[in-house]
Amino acid sequence: MKELLFQVRQRFLDQLINFYGPYVGAGVKLTEMSKDFRHAKVEMPLTIYNKNYVGTQFGGSLYSMTDPWYMLMLIKNLGDEYIVWDKAASINFRKPGRSKVRAEFKLTQELIDQIKAEVEKNVKVNWSFKVEIFDENNILIADVEKIVYVRKKSDVTKENQTAKS
């Protein structure tokens, strides 16, 4: 029963994400999300809605296709005792996007353990993730660096109690 509930929630999340307004407008589509939320793939075709003045993929749409994934994947994998926020990002445009583009996101258990260890050691961490966006011919269109903030909720509670004292 628990597995069935999980499958229903996952399918609902997949569908909900694909109907999220900015993604519908840009044409961003979640094409794959693993059951353990450690692997995701998204793609975006070149359409009139995401084409810029010179006829290539609009930079904002390229960035938006990479926006929430590592934050969502970490929230699911770290659990309720952690605070996870997207903190910063930068994008480096390499080539004009003239066709459908795709990006892939991966988390390993080793990386999750490493993030937890860094949070234990330093209370909070700003973790950097690299994402590459490729076109249909496997040409690198852009690379994105995402900075995700991670902290234990209990440390925030302790900090607030100390501040009140």
> Residue 46: is its pLDDT beyond 60?
yes
pTM, two decimals, is 0.84
> Residue 39: is its pLDDT beyond 90?
yes
| Domain segments of the chain as ranges | 2-164
Query: According to the model, what pLDDT value does residue 26 have?
Result: 80
**Strands 124-135 and 39-44, bridge-based pairing:** unpaired
pLDDT band for position 13 (cuts 50, 70, 90) = low
pLDDT band for position 23 (cuts 50, 70, 90) = confident
pLDDT band for position 35 (cuts 50, 70, 90) = confident
CATH-assigned architecture of domain 2-164:
Roll (3.10)
In what side-by-side order are the strands of the sheet with 124-135? 29-33, 39-44, 101-106, 124-135, 140-152, 82-93
Q: Are 91 and 144 in contact (CB under 8 A)?
A: yes
> Residue 162: is its pLDDT beyond 70?
no
Question: Token pair 């994402």 is at which residue?
Answer: 131
Q: Between these two residues, 155 and 74, which has the higher pLDDT value?
A: 74
> Residue 24: is its pLDDT beyond 90?
no
What would the two tokens of residue 142 be? 């852009």
Question: Which DSSP state fits 34?
Answer: -
Mean pLDDT of 23-51: 91
Helix H or strand E encompassing 87? strand 82-93
> Residue 78: is its pLDDT beyond 80?
yes
